[in-house]
Amino acid sequence: MKKYILLLLFVTQFSGAKTVEDTIQNSFKSYERFLFKYDCDACGCSASGGGMGFNSILNQNFVGIRYMNQSYSSRDGLFNNSPWIDENFNTVQVWARIPITEKIQVSALVPYHFHNRKLSTGKQNIDGLGDITVLGFYTIYQTKKDSAVFTNQLQLGGGLKAPTGKYDTENKGSVNPSFQVGTGSWDYILAVEHTIKRKNIGLNSMLNYTFKTENQDHYQFGNQLSYGTAVFYEFEKESFKIVPQAGIAGETYATNKIYGEDIRDTKGDILFGKVGVEAGKDRFSFGVNAMLPISQNLTGGRVEANYRWSVNLNYSL
Amino acid sequence: MIFSIKNKVATLALLTFLTSCSSDDDSQMASGNGEMELYFDNSVNGDNLILGASTYTNSNNETLKINRFNYIVSNFVLIKEDGTEVVYDKESSYFIISEEAQLNTINLENIPAGKYTKIRFGLGVDQQRYLQGETAQQSFWDLADANNMTWTWSTGYRFINFEGTFTAPTLTGEKTFQVHQGSNTATDNYREITVTLPNTARVRTNESPSVHFIADANKILDGNSKIKLSEAMNLAGTSASVMGGEKLMTIAGNTTSMFVVDHVHAGGAEH
């Protein structure tokens, strides 16, 4: 099992990303207005799985495939009358949570991104393998007694995000640096997950913090805190199970840096409301999730998140 | 088996931690020369300036539609973080920014490698240069002339050419306006402006930063001091013109806050 994870990590280092521009003339000046103002790491390549977490409530251990869509509107310029453009971030992700021992699990996320946006000068696409995240989780506490009224599970995790996605140097200075498939940096992640259940009802909460490092261009995305909590209910009938869930999820981003200096208007925060449902039969399960922003302040108000949604198909291990 | 997995994970984590902690070249003394780009983005009171299209109302309650916004910037001095000043070659240090001619970019060459945190420059042409006479600056004079930035040689350069149409509560209908800033025999209206960069502009032989200025045309009439176009009407009442006298000194004062640097792009960091 372990070998596969390592293999994934290293093989994928060698695949790249490519940028496609539909415009005939690369109008430098209008791209030029994009710049550093826009980018917190909210969009393209964050390690948190687009704020949707690393876990499934239905299955503790699984391999699966997940599609995520994130919609943003960004201001194409520095001015009050600059036009807003739509940005679409699409990710297909192989994700897994693999048991190693009774108390240890390894979680891996291998994303492939295909993003696009419509600039005033034409449509721009970027696609490629993203940054791979690998985390180890350790179960600190797990209610053992079947007779307990409440069952609790608390897990601590740590891991890293490898710069397997290409951070395109060519993009720097001409387009929004967060319009990337990778941050170009090795990032370190700490995570806590907690689930409390009474009979069929439960509360699942997670919190993770990502320490981001400087990439080869001396650009450093700000550290990121992600958190979320959701109430769920398990309907169970024979081998069939449906788990609706509803809650909130939030993210805060510290200021980005270049050569160690703060870059103005790059920090931000956002709070989402989320609803979802997971349905499982035998070893297969299917999930749908939707997130709508409740409040947000990203990059000085020049980027607005519209919505996020995802679907996934998992196979229980 | 279990133990060896844990060890491998730990080793991997440790290895990647170590490899990622490479140092940059900040500790080394930078040498050689590089380039710096200055980009002047013209705006009006927070809006992008679009000639002949955007109208806006200033705090004098006058509504302007701008048809021309040209100006001369000169005598660039790049200031390092330790206060050292690099004076750009004076002969090559006069430039025209013109929204209509899309002259927005200045390329400064042969800049000593360093970290620059401030830029000082002039708005207009200094007396010293002007007094060198016409032949000494023929090529710049011709360029200025082609961009409507001159009167006659004896009356000199226009530092700012700001024209359009406007309406005011005290006037009926749309009138034209012309604001031509410059020095004259009575007053020297050339001003030096110092801007602080929000991020260090790092110049290396292989790193050319780009400094993104925003110029706010609104500041000319609606800066610290106010000038009403409706009080500068010609006798026929068809047009406002501000081309001389006290008002030019007021404009000179206002323009010292006309420029800010919005951001600095790092240059190509390929090593």
Give the Cβ contact number of residue A260 at 10 Å. 11
With 70 as the cut, is the pLDDT of residue B135 above it? Answer: yes
| Whether A106 contacts chain B with CB within 8 A | yes
Cα–Cα distance for residue pair A223/A221, rounded to 1 Å? 7
Question: Two tokens at B136?
Answer: 């000494």
| pLDDT (0 to 100) of residue A225 | 92
Question: Two tokens at A61?
Answer: 């251990």
The one-character DSSP state at A300 is G
Residues 77 to 136 of B: which have CB under 8 A from any A CB? 104
**Most distant CA pair in chain A, distance:** 70
Percent of chain B with pLDDT over 70: 88
With 60 as the cut, is the pLDDT of residue B248 above it? Answer: yes
CATH architecture of the domain formed by A2-316: Beta Barrel (2.40)
| pLDDT (0 to 100) of residue A144 | 84
Q: Which residues of chain A register pLDDT less than 50?
A: 1-40, 44-45, 47-48, 172-175
With 90 as the cut, is the pLDDT of residue B185 above it? Answer: no
| pLDDT (0 to 100) of residue B145 | 95
Bridge pairing between strands A187-198 and B114-123: unpaired
Lowest mean pLDDT among A22-36, A268-282, B122-136, B155-169: A22-36
| Cα-based distances in Å from B261 to A19, A229, A230, B100, B215 | 30, 42, 45, 22, 9
For residue A77, give the nearest of B16, B48, B268 by CB distance. B48
| pLDDT (0 to 100) of residue A34 | 35
| Whether A17 contacts chain B with CB within 8 A | no
State the nearest Cα–Cα gap between A252 and chain B, in angstroms: 23
DSSP codes joined into one string, A115-154 = EEEEETTEEEEEEEE--EEEEEEEEEEE---TT-SSEEEE
| pLDDT (0 to 100) of residue B117 | 97
| pLDDT tens string B70-80 | 999 999 999 99
For residue B48, give the nearest of A32, A79, A218 by CB distance. A79
Bridge pairing between strands B175-181 and B63-80: unpaired
H or E element in which residue B3 lies:
helix B2-20
- Of B86, B90, B255, B85, the C-alpha closest to B160 is B255
For B105, the closest chain A residue by CA position comes to A29
CB < 8 Å to A217, chain B: 266, 269
- Of A184, A240, A149, A232, the C-alpha closest to A45 is A184
Q: Tell me if B263 and A2 make a contact (CB, 8 A cut-off).
A: no
**What value of ipTM does the predicted structure carry?**
0.78
CA A234 to chain centroid, in Å, comes to 26
pLDDT, greater one: B67 or A317: B67
CB < 8 Å to B268, chain A: 169, 173
CA A272 to chain centroid, in Å, comes to 13
pLDDT, greater one: B120 or A7: B120
Task: Among B262, B270, B271, pick the best mutation site for testing chain A contact (most A Cβ within 10 A).
Answer: B262
CB < 8 Å to A6, chain B: 8, 12
| pLDDT tens string B45-62 | 999 999 998 789 999 999
Cα–Cα distance for residue pair B46/B63, rounded to 1 Å? 15
| pLDDT (0 to 100) of residue A186 | 93
| pLDDT (0 to 100) of residue A182 | 85
| Whether B202 contacts chain A with CB within 8 A | yes
| pLDDT (0 to 100) of residue A30 | 32
HSE, CB side, 13 Å, CA atoms: give it for residue B153.
11
For A102, the closest chain B residue by CA position comes to B2
State the nearest Cα–Cα gap between A161 and chain B, in angstroms: 10
| pLDDT (0 to 100) of residue B110 | 96
